[in-house]
Amino acid sequence: MAASIVKRVSRVKKLNVSHISARYKLLTGSSHFSTSKQWNKALVLGVYENESTDSIDFTGTARKFDEKADGKISQLLLTVKKPLKCGKTRTLHAVDPEFSSVLVTCIGKRGEGYDELETVDKGRESIRAAVAKAVLQLRELGENEIEVDSCWDTEASAEGCHLALFSYDDLKAEKSRKPAVRISCATRYSQDKNSMEKEWRKGAILAEGQNLSRRLMEMPANLLTPTKFAEIVKEQLADKCEVLVRDKDWVESMKMGSFLSVARGSVEPPVFLEIEYKGTQSDSPLALVGKGVTFDTGGISIKPSQGMDAMRGDMGGAACVAGSLLSVSKLQLPVHVKAFIPLCENMPSGSATKPGDVVTAMNGKTIQVDNTDAEGRLILADALCYSEQFNPSLILDMATLTGAIDVALGAGAAGVFTNSENMWNKLQKASVRSGDRVWRMPLFNHYTKKITECQLADLNNIGGSRSGGACTAAAFLKEFVNNKNWLHLDIAGVMSNSGDVAYLGKGMSGRPTRTVIEFINLMSKETKN
């Protein structure tokens, strides 16, 4: 028993950044597959809901494949006198010599689009969910090369496939890992293959960004320290971005006392990550800020032990910033982005900040820290102040900030607080396209009073009661922002997925990475025009 434990620990310790990167490339399809492996080829075809038991409402691509198979696909489907409903599948064999399996998946009703009440494009979401289920079922059957119907929305189809096939099993034995699967778009009957392949690539890149966010959030905190986070992000983004890794001395020189107060309790040194992507030159870049607490115990105001392991994902904001930049750079969007990520652990120790302590932020405001578990706003305060120095056209920050937003919205949407109606409209439009919803929350002066009425300092880091906790946290952050285009995304409620999103497996979700990418894409088009 002891020998096996030693062997296991030894294998985990050897997982350095290069191992993680290599595994990441394999699972995102970025590396070459072994030519010696036996590939079993399968096909996914889409059909629409159809009440008739006498005909099948195929997508265009599916109809072409049915014709190629001399109508065998439709014949077999019609033998079952029960129409397929949205999300349901049927697997067929021996209908085409090219494919060992043909899986037919129902993508919902023809013509579905934007649902005003649900604030989502139901057609796109149905496609993502339908192809996701299809590729997962085929992987379970042992198929490892899958050609997928575009289902009239190639980008959404690619997103569904690549998001569904993600798994974080780097630390498991080789035999326990999910098998690699090659996915491609069924373009052979398209009149414009180049356009379809371009859209497929875009969908894959959008998913790749979110999958990087998920991978970072899933990594155990003993492997993903602030220093390791910076190393991995630098390796992933080095080709297209300039990445500056600032150490504790630099943080102290910038008088970021609020950030340092959180890092004080850990033996792991804090890191401030500054990233720049120049798809175009601008004097007013877009600024992204992400909360990077790589593990959150709550500090002296310690959390309950149950569920604390999930606090390895408390750097979700930082992870989503990194994932967004990966996709933005790979899509080569014509936009100038500056990103700022404060990284640290929040730990209890003899040197940790105590409830009642007063610290000074970069802008000179003093803060009474009455709850050390309200630490995310403390590190973001200094990062927001620093980002203002670059004259950004807008500031968007993301943070797993409050349990209160989870109580308010659950996993249905990320909460958004903003001082700009225009920016909100653009972000909401982006979320409709991505399917990853956002919901606007109030930023009233009512909440500001809750954190400015403070006994010892200019501000208190908590609002005095549990009421409106997400709103008072946003009001606190507003005290460190002068920019007229500011969006704060509280993503604590969407941090993990437990079945709420059909095309995301259980675990850390990487939400709302694709919404932010789409938002930046909209902003790049506006800047270009």
**Model pLDDT for residues 137-184, shown as the tens digit of each residue:** 999 999 999 999 999 999 999 999 999 999 999 999 999 999 999 999
* Catalytic residue (choose from 72, 303, 365, 440): 303
HSE (side-chain half, CA atoms, 13 Å) at 326:
27
Judge whether residue 392 has pLDDT over 80. yes
State the virtual CA torsion across 515, 516, 519, 520 in degrees, nearest 10: -150
Q: Tell which wins on pLDDT, 55 or 299.
A: 299
Beta strand pairing call for 394-399 and 366-369? unpaired
Residues facing 489 on adjacent strands: 398, 416
Tell me what pLDDT residue 230 has.
Answer: 98
Strand-pair category, 357-360 with 120-121: unpaired
Closest C-alpha to 117, from 437, 490, 499, 406: 437
The per-residue pLDDT of the chain, averaged, comes to 92
Q: Residues 353, 252: contact at Cβ < 8 Å?
A: no
In the chain, the N- to C-terminal Cα span, in Å, equals: 66
Q: How far is CA 304 from CA 191, 298, 309, 413, 425, in A?
A: 59, 9, 11, 26, 38
Q: Does residue 49 carry a pLDDT above 90? A: yes
Q: Grade residue 127 by pLDDT with cuts at 50, 70 and 90.
A: very high
Fold topology of 19-209: Leucine Aminopeptidase, subunit E; domain 1 (3.40.220)
Domain boundaries for CATH 3.40.630.10 within the chain = 220-528
- Nearest Cα residue to 44 out of 62, 26, 29: 62
pLDDT band, residue 14 (cuts 50/70/90): very low
Q: Is the peptide bond before 512 cis (omega within 30 degrees of 0)?
A: yes
Assign 527 a pLDDT band (cuts: 50, 70, 90). low
pLDDT, mean of residues 287-296: 98
Higher pLDDT, 21 or 169: 169
What integer pLDDT is reported at residue 38 of this predicted model? 60
Architecture of domain 220-528 in CATH?
3-Layer(aba) Sandwich (3.40)
What dihedral do alpha carbons 167, 173, 175, 179 form, nearest 10°?
A: 20
Is 315 within 8 Å of 229 (Cβ atoms)?
yes
pLDDT at 466: 86
Contact 523, 394 (CB under 8 A): yes
Please give the structure tokens belonging to residue 77: 């489907």
d(CA 489, CA 433): 18
Is 177 considered catalytic here?
A: no
Q: Which of 473, 474, 256 is nearest to 371 (CA)?
A: 473
Q: List the beta bridge partners of residue 339.
A: 275, 288
Phi first, then psi, for residue 392 (nearest 5°) are -70, 150
CA-to-CA distance for 166 and 168, rounded, in angstroms? Answer: 7
Q: What is the mean pLDDT of residues 128-142?
A: 97
> Is 303 designated active site?
yes
Paired tokens of 510: 């990487």
CA pair distance 168, 508, nearest whole angstrom: 10
For residues 431-451, one letter each, b for 16 or more C-beta atoms within 10 angstroms of the residue's C-beta and e for the rest, the string is bbbbbbbbbbbebeeebbebb
pLDDT at residue 29 above 60? no
Q: How many helices (H) and strands (E) does the chain have?
A: 17, 21
Q: Which tokens in the block code for residue 99?
A: 């494919």
Q: Which of 23, 139, 264, 377 is flagged as catalytic? A: 377
Residue 183: its H or E element: strand 182-185
Asked if 288 and 317 touch (Cβ cutoff 8 Å), the reply is no
